[in-house]
Every structure is written in structure tokens, then in C-alpha cells.
Chain A
Amino acid sequence: MEALTTFAQLLVGGVLTGLVFALVAVGLTLVYGVMDVVNFAHGEFLMLAMYATLGLALLGLGPLLGLPLVVIAMFLFGIVVYRVFVRRLLSGPPEATVFGTFGLLVLMQGLAQAIFSSDFLSAPNPPFSGTLRFAGLAVSQASVVEGCGALILTALLFAFVEYTETGRAMRAVAEDRIAATLMGIDVQRINGLAFGIGAACVGAAGALLMLSYPVYPTAGVPFALTAFVVVALGGFGSISGALVGALLVGLLEVFGGFYLSPELKLVPVYLAYLIVVLLRPQGLLGRR
């Protein structure tokens, strides 16, 4: 009985962990899907959003109330970064975006360090600090809110890309840039929009993560690393793939940690990653 309860507890923990990963990964996969750019500074966007959320929280706007503001601010930030920086990289060789966004990562981490110092900072009196109990299981309220946020965000993004005019234009650009241009789609505008929406997604993620994580200049790194694995596993550019990949990573990590050993908890994750990359290089739900 006890073993069963532990298993159920790990299952719930794994799913909620996976949803947090999905929260961070959807923005990354969208940008890749539309413009074939892996934004290496994705984790630093997350870090920036977390600092922004903290700033609003210090002004009295708690993480959830601050969320819409952070989302809007990050959307604009994403568009500016695209217009000023990424657009120029796209006209260079393919490696330019890799080195360029990596440079952005270094710059943003350095600036954060200089401005905010390397101290860990948490939101004052975050809401949802209690525990939710049901059927002998226990989860923190914050992780449930984060999980729900991930599901809503993924659903919204999926609906946007599938069912709106702009979303269709994005898919057209993703499929064939030149054909899309010939059809009268403004590729630069769509790219900028996708980059902005990707940043807005990570803005929502940052606001929600402030419920349970402290922020510091490299706070985005562990999440971004997992997000890269999630996106590769689920399929580059696939939004539902990011969700599936994230749940898989969360469950493998938690079960691996308990039934193998905590030291080895990432082994099943990267093993699954290797297997998928070998057998299905485009990822579980990715298109070839």
C-alpha cells in the first residue's frame, strides 16, 4: 500500500514537474518552428521576466496580478530584440543565429549580475504557499497553479497557431518562407511577431515560476537546458510535442530519481533523448 502511495505521489510530482518544463519550452519551440532559430538566450529571457515579476511584486503587484504586465512587456522586448538584433543575424550564415543568441545570453547574464548582483531574490509573501491534499497525496499549491498555467498557455498557443489568420501565416512561413512571401505574407512581420510571442510565453512562465523559485542572474539556465531537451524530444517547432516531451522528461526524471538513484535521475532523460534522436531525429511529434 505504501509503495503504491509513493508511486502515485511520484506520478503526480512527475506530471507537475513536466508541466513546469512545458511552460518554459513552448516559447522556445514556437520561435524555432517559425524561423528555424534556436534562441540560446531563452533562459535569460526567463530570468528577465522573473526579475520583472519580482519588481512588480515589490511594488505590491503579486506574481499573478503582475503576470499580464510581464507578458506584455516581454512581448515588446521580444519584438525589439528581433528588430534590432535577430533580423540582422538571419541575413548571415546559419551559424550567426547560434553565436548571436549565445552572445545575447552572455550579455544578459553579465548585465543582470552588474545590476542585480548575484544574490538570490524571492518574491515577498508569494500566494499559494500552502499544500494541497487529496487521497493521501500532497502537492504544493504553487506547482498546481504553475501546471494549470502551462496547460492554458499551451492550449492558447496551439489554438492561435492552428485557428487564427496570423497563426496560419506563421505556419506558412515555417513551411516555406519564399512561397509565403510570394503569397503576400510579410515574413519580417511574422518573424517579429513569433519572436515576441515566444518572449511573451517565457514572460508568463517567469511570472508563474516566481511563485516557487528565487531569481538570480543564472536562474534561467537549468530551466533552459531542460527546455532544449524537451523541444528536441518532442519535436522542434511542435507545440503539442513540447507538452508531450516535457511530461516525458518530468516523469522520467522523478521516477528515475526514486527507483534508480537521485544521482542518476537525468540518465533516463538523456537516454530517452538519445533513443529518440537516433530513431526519430525530428522528435516525437516533429515534422520532417
Chain B
Amino acid sequence: MLARRLALALATALTLTAVPLGPTGAADPPDIVIGSVIPLTGSLAQSGAGLRVAQLLAQDLVNGHVSYPLPMVGKSGLPHLGHARIRLVFADSQGKPDQARAAAEQLITQDHVVALIGCYSSSTTATASQVAERYGVPFLNPDSSAPSLTTRGLKWFFRTTPSDATFADNFFQFFGDLKRTKKIVVKKIAIVGEDGLFGSGAGDAEEALAKKYGYPVVSRIAYTATTTEVNAEVQKVKAAAPDVIMMASYLPDALLFMRGFKDQSVQPQAIMAQDAGFIDPNFVRTEGKDAEGIFTREVFSLDIKHRNHAVPLINQLFELRFSGKPLDGNTARDFMGVLVLADAIDRAASTAPEAIRTALQKTNIPGNLTLMPWKNIQFDANGQNQGGSGIIEQIQDGKYETVWPFDVAVSEPIWPMPVWKH
């Protein structure tokens, strides 16, 4: 009896919420629904919360009428579709590949979304995009960096962010620039990375690029990220005596290696890191002076304001909505992702998947109309944005200063890194 009454109450509540509350003008076109698969619970929930805020901010700016030097912002919806508003519907990936697959399926079959965006971690993006491929729904990935995602031959997959291969390439471009402008010569390289998709992907890319650019790799080390000690690894690197150590590590292992390098006086000219552990706020806090001079690649920096003055403005709006936390590489990329989708749907002037896909293929957004350090947004045949690049930061006086590319740099690189202080 109670169960029946409960069910009745629930049904009534559902019917009531389904009825639109405000007056609906007959001329209003229906909302254009975009599905977003991100981690809202689970170990990545905190990151997911930021991504959600960033995507919703982009949605509201597209639907609003305040203009910024960004694509599709401030036009009161999509002009070519009668100023229809875009609306994001979220589904939780829990950070798990199988859950991401189910979430994508639900958004496509039940919410009838016209396109998908997501999913942050590379492994969840991999499964969710397979579902989109099967149903023929465009999938925009703004934030996963595993190189393999765009080598799967998918027709409906587009990635705006550069992959780890591009970030690795940036290191070698940086070496080239250093040689040209400062006569700094790098020879031997050691590659150290955790043995998951992240570290081994980055390491493979670095090894291939080192070969291409003619730098001998004197040591390549893969270790398990959850290791509790790195004695042997550090001795291996020491024996190889590299000029540059390229690292791909999470925080606990990054700290172990820093400690080991210092104790064993492993003194390269530079340590170049693939963000992750090396940009964790705890890295500088724990390492203090020992963190000085470490280079790391980043995807975004507020320093980009020198190229697009929208950066600090969007950052302010984001901080207002996210309890004072500033934009970072992930939230900035997700914000841009929604704009890129809105731009494609508008140019398609249609919500038909095929039309949106064709429009995405023709995307061409100049870099200075983005929040990113990119040249432009233009997809190749694999759906990878060709204009993407990262930035290189160096820890100077405890702060991450942009030192490359030179046109957005705010500081000169310090090379070689300081000698360990014992």
C-alpha cells in the first residue's frame, strides 16, 4: 500500500517537473541537446566537478548575448538555427571505461543528443567514443591526451587537445629553439616513465622523436607508478649520465625520483616533465628549493592573456562559479570543446549527425580566438586538431613560469638547472 502511494507520488512529481514552468513562446526553437560524459562520482569526481562547471559556463555564454573574442559566444544561441539554445545533459562515467560506455549509450538512445563531449581520462574516452561511432553520433574529445585515441580510424571522433605525442614534440622544438637562440646543445636523453598508458605512451613518443631529431636515448626506464622505492631506477639513470631526463610520473613516484636524484647527485642539465605529478600543488610544496629549475609541459596558462584578453575574463566568470578556483588546463580545454561543437552545429545549420560531422571536418578557428596556446583548430583525417601545441613552464622561485613558446613566454628559461643543494 505504502509502496503504491510512494510510486504515485513519484509519478506525480515527475509529471509536474516535465511541464515547463515559464511561458513558452511558440517561436522558440527547441533546445539543441549535447551529451556530456564526465566523471561526476568516483576518484576523478573532483576533476569532473570542474569540467562540468566549465562546460556549463560555455553553454551559458553561447546562449547569452555578451560578446568575447571567442567563437559562438554572445550570439544568443545558434544564429543559423533560429537562435536555438544549446543544452548540456550530463551522464556520469565514474571514471570507469565500462560505465562511460553505458553513459554514452544512455545519452544517445534516451536523451537523443545530437553530439557527445567527453570524457577526461583516455580510457573512458576510448570506450564512450566507440559507442558514438556505432550509432553515428559526432564525438568531441577536448581533454584526453593518449596518442592512440586518434589512430583508431574512427569516423565520428574529433579531438581538439594535442596528444602526448605533440607535447613530446614540443620538448624537441624547445631544444631546437635553445640551440638557435642560446647556443645550448643537448645530446644524451634519458626517458623515465610509469608503465601505464600515460607514461609508456609519452615515453614511446619521446623515444621516436629523439630518434627523428637525432638525440641518442641513453636510458629508457619504465616503472610501476605505485612503487614504494626507486633505488635501481635512479642508479640506472646515474650510470647513463644523460644531459636531459624526460619524466612522466604521478606525484608519489615523482617525489621518490626527485629524492633519489638528489641523494645520488644525479645532475643533468635539465629535467623535463610531462605535467601530472610535477604540476600537482604538492610538488612545489614538498620539494621546496629542490623543485627549482624543473621544466614541465602544460596545456594552459593564464599567461595566455597576452594573446587573448578573454582569458582573464573567462577565468573570472569561472572562479565565480567554482568557489574561487581558477581555470586550469582541463577546464579551459573543456570550455573550448563546447564552443567548438556549438560552432560546428551552427555552421551545419542542422542537427543531423552527418551534417554536424561534415561541419566539424571544416572547422577552422584561429588560435587567438581560443583560450589555448594553439595555432588554430583544424582537424586532420583522423579527427586530430593539427594546430594544437602545449607550453613549457619552468619552476622559478616556487612558481610555474611560462618559458616557451617564446611568443607567450613571461620568463627566460634557466639552463642548466641549479646544482642540488645538500
Which residues of A sit under 8 angstroms from B263, Cβ to Cβ? 131, 138-140
A140 interface neighbour in B222, B235, B236, B259, Cβ under 8 Å: B259
- Taking the closest CB of chain A, its distance from the CB of B391, in whole angstroms, is 23
Q: Which A residue sits closest to B226, measured CB to CB?
A: A222
Contact between B43 and A17 (Cβ–Cβ < 8 Å)? no
Which residues of A sit under 8 angstroms from B228, Cβ to Cβ? 17, 20-21, 213, 222-223, 226
A55 within 8 A of B: no
Contact between B46 and A17 (Cβ–Cβ < 8 Å)? no
Contact between B422 and A130 (Cβ–Cβ < 8 Å)? yes
On A, residues with C-beta under 8 Å from B are 6, 9-10, 13-14, 17, 20-21, 113, 117-122, 124-125, 130-131, 133, 138-140, 212-214, 216-217, 219, 221-223, 226, 250, 253-258, 262-263, 265-266
On whether A262 and B232 interact (CB within 8 A), knowing A119-B282, A122-B286, A214-B255, the answer reads yes
- Taking the closest CB of chain A, its distance from the CB of B133, in whole angstroms, is 31
Which residues of A sit under 8 angstroms from B422, Cβ to Cβ? 130-131, 133
Which residues of B sit under 8 angstroms from A213, Cβ to Cβ? 228, 252, 255
Q: Which A residue sits closest to B227, measured CB to CB?
A: A222
Cα(A157)–Cα(B235), bound, Å: 35
Cα(A114)–Cα(B84), bound, Å: 39
Which residues of B sit under 8 angstroms from A17, Cβ to Cβ? 228-229, 231
B12 within 8 A of A: no
- Taking the closest CB of chain A, its distance from the CB of B235, in whole angstroms, is 5
Cα(A138)–Cα(B259), bound, Å: 11
A–B complex contacts, Cβ < 8 Å, 16 sampled:
A6-B239, A9-B231, A10-B232, A13-B229, A13-B232, A20-B228, A118-B43, A118-B46, A130-B422, A217-B43, A222-B228, A253-B229, A257-B231, A257-B233, A262-B233, A263-B195
Which residues of A sit under 8 angstroms from B232, Cβ to Cβ? 10, 13, 253-258, 262, 265
Q: Which B residue sits closest to A265, measured CB to CB?
A: B232
On whether A258 and B229 interact (CB within 8 A), knowing A120-B251, A120-B280, the answer reads no
On whether A6 and B235 interact (CB within 8 A), knowing A113-B43, A263-B222, the answer reads yes
Q: Which B residue sits closest to A263, measured CB to CB?
A: B222
Which residues of A sit under 8 angstroms from B222, Cβ to Cβ? 262-263
Q: A10-B232, A223-B228 are in contact. List 11 more A-B contacts (CB 8 A).
A: A13-B231, A122-B282, A131-B262, A138-B265, A140-B259, A214-B255, A217-B43, A221-B226, A255-B232, A257-B231, A262-B233
A258 interface neighbour in B223, B235, B286, Cβ under 8 Å: B235
Cα(A21)–Cα(B231), bound, Å: 14
Cα(A223)–Cα(B229), bound, Å: 11
Q: Which B residue sits closest to A18, measured CB to CB?
A: B229
Cα(A13)–Cα(B263), bound, Å: 11
Q: Which A residue sits closest to B225, measured CB to CB?
A: A222
Which residues of A sit under 8 angstroms from B44, Cβ to Cβ? 118
Contact between B236 and A262 (Cβ–Cβ < 8 Å)? yes
On whether A258 and B195 interact (CB within 8 A), knowing A214-B282, A222-B228, the answer reads no
Cα(A124)–Cα(B286), bound, Å: 7
Contact between B282 and A121 (Cβ–Cβ < 8 Å)? yes
Residues from 212 to 232 in B contacting A, C-beta threshold 8 Å:
221-224, 226-229, 231-232
On B, residues with C-beta under 8 Å from A are 43-44, 46, 195, 221-224, 226-229, 231-233, 235-236, 239, 251-252, 255, 259, 262-265, 280, 282, 285-286, 288, 422
Q: Which B residue sits closest to A3, measured CB to CB?
A: B239
Cα(A238)–Cα(B44), bound, Å: 40
Max chain A Cβ within 10 angstroms of own Cβ: one of B231, B233, B288, B422: B231
Q: Which B residue sits closest to A223, measured CB to CB?
A: B228
Contact between A212 and B259 (Cβ–Cβ < 8 Å)? yes
Which residues of A sit under 8 angstroms from B264, Cβ to Cβ? 9, 138
Which residues of A sit under 8 angstroms from B255, Cβ to Cβ? 122, 212-214
B235 interface neighbour in A10, A222, A250, Cβ under 8 Å: A10
Q: Which B residue sits closest to A118, measured CB to CB?
A: B43
Cα(A256)–Cα(B236), bound, Å: 12
- Taking the closest CB of chain A, its distance from the CB of B263, in whole angstroms, is 5
Q: Which B residue sits closest to A139, measured CB to CB?
A: B263
Which residues of B sit under 8 angstroms from A117, Cβ to Cβ? 46
Max chain B Cβ within 10 angstroms of own Cβ: one of A6, A125, A131, A214: A214
Contact between B286 and A262 (Cβ–Cβ < 8 Å)? no
- Taking the closest CB of chain B, its distance from the CB of A268, in whole angstroms, is 11
Which residues of B sit under 8 angstroms from A217, Cβ to Cβ? 43
B231 interface neighbour in A10, A122, A223, A226, Cβ under 8 Å: A10
Cα(A10)–Cα(B238), bound, Å: 13
Contact between A258 and B226 (Cβ–Cβ < 8 Å)? no
Contact between A120 and B43 (Cβ–Cβ < 8 Å)? no
Q: Which B residue sits closest to A123, measured CB to CB?
A: B286
Max chain A Cβ within 10 angstroms of own Cβ: one of B222, B233, B235, B282: B235
Ranked 8 nearest A-B pairs via Cβ: A257-B232, A13-B231, A258-B232, A222-B226, A120-B251, A122-B286, A254-B231, A17-B229
Q: Which A residue sits closest to B255, measured CB to CB?
A: A214
Cα(A214)–Cα(B226), bound, Å: 12
- Taking the closest CB of chain A, its distance from the CB of B413, in whole angstroms, is 27
Which residues of B sit under 8 angstroms from A13, Cβ to Cβ? 229, 231-232
Which residues of B sit under 8 angstroms from A212, Cβ to Cβ? 255, 259
Contact between A214 and B251 (Cβ–Cβ < 8 Å)? yes
Which residues of A sit under 8 angstroms from B282, Cβ to Cβ? 119-122, 214
Which residues of B sit under 8 angstroms from A262, Cβ to Cβ? 221-223, 232-233, 236
